[in-house]
Amino acid sequence: DGGITQSPKYLFRKEGQNVTLSCEQNLNHDAMYWYRQDPGQGLRLIYYSQIVNDFQKGDIAEGYSVSREKKESFPLTVTSAQKNPTAFYLCASSMAGFGSPLHFGNGTRLTVT
Amino acid sequence: AQKVTQAQTEISVVEKEDVTLDCVYETRDTTYYLFWYKQPPSGELVFLIRRNSFDEQNEISGRYSWNFQKSTSSFNFTITASQVVDSAVYFCALIIDYAGGTSYGKLTFGQGTILTVHP
């Protein structure tokens, strides 16, 4: 079955620690994205990548970093510089082209205390 | 800047009732796509429909129907004869053509509407 796998589903970290969220897709999609979801705020774009070894900042990139070394993988690191890291993080992918629907993973819920 | 407003934060209905989820958008661009996604309790967003700005035809898919009206900048979603399995958060989203066809993925989402269907 083709799809997007995010791991782990739940993640707990202490304040001041960096943490990396995994995202793998086997849909052969060129583009991948990271969104953050907070209660009552919809989804906000953190980073996106259209091709391997290239990525762009979204609307709320501060305190986050990404890499795109392989087409299938787009890990997100939440650094200690992110002021409010506790949130639900969703990874997505899409085919190239304007208006291509996004396919989402199951998400990772990160709690930082 | 673009904006999507889903004024209904939560809706509660009894099974078999019809329910309409409202979506109003703002953009100065003439070329854009609108989407509806469903987020069940499991967390992933499931794509339901895409509509481009040049196609105002309404669409029906089983119990689901969508009404796109450019005159009122609305893209409303109706579920007919609702079922408990329809309980989820529903998001409306918009993408504009930032750069000649290369702006895929930069969706603007509404805040979502929580739909609860009671048996």
Residue B19 CB: number of other CB atoms within 10 A? 19
Q: Which residue has the tokens 């100065």?
A: B28
Write the single-letter amino acid at B65. S
**What average pLDDT is seen over chain A?**
93
Query: Which pLDDT score is estimated for B99?
Result: 63
Q: Which amino acid is at A32?
A: M
Distance between CA atoms of residues B89 and A99, nearest Å: 22
> How far from each other are the two terminal CA atoms of chain A, in whole angstroms?
36
Whether B70 has its CB under 8 Å from any CB of chain A: the answer is: no
pLDDT in tens, A21-59: 999 999 999 999 999 999 877 899 999 999 999 999 998
**Contact with chain A for residue B3, Cβ under 8 A:** no
- Note whether A90 contacts B44, CB cutoff 8 Å: yes
Q: Which residues contact A24 (CB under 8 A, 6 or more apart)?
A: A4, A5, A72, A73
pLDDT tens track for B34-78: 999 999 998 999 999 999 999 888 888 899 999 999 999 999 999
8 A C-beta contact, residue A3 and residue A68: no
Q: Write out chain B residues lying below 8 Å of A90, CB-based.
A: 43-45
Residue A100 with chain B: CB contacts under 8 Å: 104-105
Pick from B104, B105, B111: which is nearest to A40 by CB? B111
Q: Do B43 and A106 touch (CB under 8 A)?
A: yes
Describe the strand order of the beta sheet including A4-7 as a list of residue ranges.
A4-7, A19-25, A76-78, A64-66
Task: Spell B102-116 as b/e; 16+ CB within 10 A means b.
Answer: ebbbbbbbbbbbebe
User: What pLDDT sits at residue B98?
Assistant: 66
